[in-house]
Structure 1
């Protein structure tokens, strides 16, 4: 996600995360760095982690309620088809990532690697902790968000004035949550990760973890490119278009998303890509902005791959049923992700315990793994949006013959 709209040079989130990891590793390895200094960093990371746990249920309510109430508005059959294809694509992307991760990850996440990670020292403890209990738990937040989102959608159709009033309240709350993410969570995130990696480095586990990081990174990017290409080949083929010409036309959208890390910022370029692919203006203007919110196959590939890598590193058992349940829930919960910086992994955090990623250390690894690949996931998301636009346009033309 783009962190700033201001003119001039702005160091993006990914470079800051990479710098934080490098600096954290160096601090943990330098013998003359006082132990107390590392404990200060660990204390800060612990306090931020408590705040993160506090805000996650509020974030679910703030983002998901509006996302669901928006999603249920639209153009009838066209909306249903677009949502169905997008959700199915997201599930397929996650399922493919599961299969590939299980085939390839054991080649480099060996028993020796696992032993080094699990046998490393505990690291340093924080000087102090401040208990910060969330106002309500994640499960309650999810149920409330879905109930209110669907309820507001119904209310807007049945009683427009009352529905719009409640919608505006949650729309305002979403803006507050977005501002907290923009001004607090995202700017502090690199320092949080710095403290975590300094502690991992001090404990001796960090180099085993980093040896896994870069391999996962390469596999995930390859999966993104293969999956998006397959979408264009299948959907373009069904629509009678040259898929390779469509892929060529999509390069501008892919590179824009890669540079901005923002699905929203890429919409104007992506709409133009859809026109170059022969999609009608009406369908392009409808499908591309909608899919920028609901189609998250690239992000799902990244999150699923990173989750399995972390589970393997900590020797936590899992199976396909557990992972597919996780993917199905995330496919809905991440609806609001493109509207928040680093939104996909932030939306996924409450659900990571579903697969066994429950400790702070494991969640910190998930954040670090994901955000270093966030721009590639966003680029895959928006590229897939145009493949979907080609198919929806094909259906629309058939229905209107």
Structure 2
């Protein structure tokens, strides 16, 4: 049967949960070994994907690349702030009654013993994510402003290679990778632990994710004058992929493909989607704010709005610099958590436990929202071109 990516991902998630309780450990370790190898390959490819897609995108856009970069980052920053403030407002209204005196449950969470693969293979990435982004900007702008035809051809050929790797290697193996993730989570008992300890908070945050995605696509749909629900439905495979991988960067291939299906031009999509995988973490900021408020309430720490507004404004900057890999956002957020909210080692450890338990939901919100930003940037770009012609 030839199935599209969406049903394959759904089948992988379902089988991972169902078989986790019955599959023998030797087979589980086999899939964990595959995930380890494929994860290393993904980490190796991620900076290459960024360079291969962003560089020719900037070069093709030409002299508007600098303006497009500023517009994209500004939209991502503002959207991150709005999502975090919404999270704080909702948490202030509901969390005190939901948490009550049940704070001891967080302390009881312990890290499960890792399921070891049969062997590992270390494949160091040629560049880190931020280096790849900066290099892409320099090369792309150099091509655009310098008229470097030879380098433009090289960038185009690199893009072709990367596109074939995405299409013929990464996309076909993603469902198996997602299956292995959910299988190991079920075997370790992480799913049950997550639901029993954080069930109430997770439900509120999940509802917030849906609301954020709705307002993002309602706004984008009104700007581009298209059905927002149809636009959001097209991005659903990217949402499910991010849900399984917990990595914005690893979901770039799927998010890019679905964004193109929404009618965004290849140049804008190739620029915005890889860039937003690093700079647009509205779902993560929303989740970090909710988790921080939860722990502040439980520990009796200050949690007034002026303090949290200061934290959110700084957190949004750190989210721009956070790598789009599993757990990257919370690692970047530890500095403002300590310096602004006064979280010590114990509070930061609780933050990491609570955040990682819901990591995939925030990542899915980030990635799906990237498609909305691409639609808005496409519209603004087209308006700018018309102004130049006039």
CA contact 1:233–1:243 (8 Å) conserved in 2: yes
Give a deviation string over 1:273-323, Cα, whole Å, max 9, x none.
111111111111111111111000000010000000000001112211211
Aligned position for 2:254: 269
CA contact 1:117–1:313 (8 Å) conserved in 2: no
Choose the corresponding residue for 2:70, options 80, 88, 98: 80
Q: Cα offset for 1:339?
A: 4.2
- Please give the TM-score of this superposition, normalised by the length of structure 1: 0.58
Structure-2 separation of matches of 1:108 and 1:359: 24
Matched, 1:223 2:208: yes
Structure-2 separation of matches of 1:355 and 1:331: 13
Aligned position for 1:290: 275
Aligned position for 1:248: 233
Structure-1 separation of matches of 2:212 and 2:105: 32
Aligned position for 1:161: none
Give a deviation string over 1:348-369, Cα, whole Å, max 9, x none.
1122124434222211111110
Give a deviation string over 1:188-207, Cα, whole Å, max 9, x none.
xxxxxx9xxxxxxxxxxxx9
Aligned position for 1:367: 352
Map 1:2-401 → 2, pairs under 5 A: 9-10=31-32, 75-110=65-100, 112-113=101-102, 213-401=198-386
CA RMSD of aligned residues (A): 3.8
Q: Cα offset for 1:335?
A: 2.6
* Structure 1 residues 313 and 210, CA gap change in structure 2 (3 angstroms): farther
* Structure 1 residues 307 and 11, CA gap change in structure 2 (3 angstroms): farther
Structure-1 separation of matches of 2:197 and 2:90: 15
CA contact 1:235–1:388 (8 Å) conserved in 2: yes
Q: Cα offset for 1:102?
A: 0.2
Structure-2 separation of matches of 1:359 and 1:272: 42
CA contact 2:284–2:329 (8 Å) conserved in 1: yes
**Residue range with higher mean Cα deviation, 258-267 or 246-255:** 258-267
**Residue range with higher mean Cα deviation, 217-226 or 242-251:** 217-226
CA contact 2:284–2:362 (8 Å) conserved in 1: yes
Structure-2 separation of matches of 1:117 and 1:353: 22
Q: Cα offset for 1:241?
A: 1.1
| 3-state secondary structure, aligned to 2:99 | coil
CA contact 2:217–2:372 (8 Å) conserved in 1: yes
Aligned position for 1:131: none
Give a deviation string over 1:112-169, Cα, whole Å, max 9, x none.
446x799x9xxxxxxxxxxxxxxxxxxxxxxxxxxxx99xx99xx99xxxxxxxxxxx
Q: Cα offset for 1:213?
A: 2.2
Give a deviation string over 1:178-227, Cα, whole Å, max 9, x none.
xxxxxxxxxxxxxxxx9xxxxxxxxxxxx9x9976221111111111110
CA contact 2:77–2:320 (8 Å) conserved in 1: no
CA contact 1:318–1:355 (8 Å) conserved in 2: no
Structure-2 separation of matches of 1:89 and 1:8: 41
CA contact 2:83–2:212 (8 Å) conserved in 1: yes
Structure-1 separation of matches of 2:71 and 2:330: 27
Q: Cα offset for 1:331?
A: 1.3
CA contact 1:224–1:298 (8 Å) conserved in 2: yes
Give a deviation string over 1:39-83, Cα, whole Å, max 9, x none.
xxxxxxxxxxxxxxxxxxxxxxxxxxxxxxx9xx96111111111
Give a deviation string over 1:23-54, Cα, whole Å, max 9, x none.
xxxxxxxxxxxxxxxxxxxxxxxxxxxxxxxx
| 3-state secondary structure, aligned to 1:316 | coil
Structure-2 separation of matches of 1:11 and 1:213: 29
Structure-2 separation of matches of 1:106 and 1:12: 43
Q: How many residues align?
A: 262
Structure-2 separation of matches of 1:253 and 1:296: 15
CA contact 1:108–1:212 (8 Å) conserved in 2: no
